[in-house]
Amino acid sequence: MWTANLSNSLYVSLMTIIAATNITGSACGQCDPEQIAKLLAPDGAQNDGLGVSVSVSGDAAVIGAPHDDDQGSESGSAHIFRYDGANWIHEAKLMASDGAEFDEFGASVAISGDIGVFGAPGNDVLAPQDGAAYVFDLPDCHGDPTAPEDITGDGVVDMLDLIAVLAAWGWI
């Protein structure tokens, strides 16, 4: 029991030291964050949910709007923005090639280099709401990016196609 109390005291003491160090900034230097931009969808509408998911790689940002209604209620979308050295420029709006009501495309987003992956947890392919992930090639597009082919030839662009792409690149 005495050891537990000592451990708890030590933990509290260390957390106090860490907190005090972070407050004064002496351990990490001064941090003075400054907002440099506010990114908005050019066609934003009430309850689109832009910003539910965000990912940045280099000068590109992908931002999900899973409640966008362009392909049916809550079908979802995502937006690509690029930083040109002075401003964040909206480059494209992405939607699932087979987007439908309640898919929530853009609920999760990820970008690495020129590849973007976008989750649609409500997608109904094999079973109700079994979900899907869409992989897009996102070169410095200044236009519409393209969705990849059905790499595995099973008639659906799905996680198996993503695995095939990642394996081809030696990532898995």
- Express each pLDDT in 110-126 by its tens digit: 999 889 999 999 999 88
Range 127-135 average pLDDT: 92
AA identity, residue 108:
S
Most confident of 32-36, 75-79, 146-150, 156-160: 75-79
Residues 6 or more apart whose CB falls under 8 angstroms from that of 56 comprise 111
Higher per-residue confidence, 63 vs 148: 63
Residue 106 predicted with pLDDT over 80: yes
Query: DSSP class of residue 73?
Result: T
AA identity, residue 120:
A
pTM above 0.85, yes or no: no
- Mean of the per-residue pLDDT values for the chain? 78
Q: What is the percentage of the chain residues whose pLDDT exceeds 70?
A: 64
Residues 6 or more apart whose CB falls under 8 angstroms from that of 121 comprise 104, 107, 108, 129, 131
What is the number of helices (H) and of strands (E) in the chain? Answer: 2, 7
Q: 133 and 110 in contact (C-beta within 8 Å)? A: no
Which two tokens mark 64? Answer: 């999900």
pLDDT confidence of 31, banded at 50, 70, 90?
confident
Residue 132 predicted with pLDDT over 60: yes
Residue 163 predicted with pLDDT over 90: no
